[in-house]
Structure 1
């Protein structure tokens, strides 16, 4: 399940000991800022782009397999000729 940065920051803030109660909102905002900063440094791609690339790779693999079989058949035919 994918959670938003806000949800993650809220859960982290709620996990703090009770003594942090008065500053919980400030801590949550800091958690959110740190999460956004760190996530922006990652080399992430949208799910749609990932799926499209994966499908293109699978298609290319199928074509390569077919070409390899064709080459093997031609080499076998040439060996008999």
Structure 2
């Protein structure tokens, strides 16, 4: 249960930034986790650290998250 809040917050960040549905945001995190061989909690924590606007997403995760965003949200409108 202790990892649930950061994961939900990360989903919210993705929903606010890229406009996926709640389900798409969940699948986005799962996809990034699987493709980067990282725990979902680690992806969520990394995303939350970027909330200050100064901390970048680690390069090792950035590409996987970007690919997941593209695959789960469709073309930009």
Q: Which has the higher contact order (CA 8 A, sep 6+)?
A: 2
Output the TM-score relative to the length of structure 2. 0.23
Output the TM-score relative to the length of structure 1. 0.22
Larger radius of gyration, structure 1 or 2? 1
Considering fraction of residues, name the structure with more helix: 1
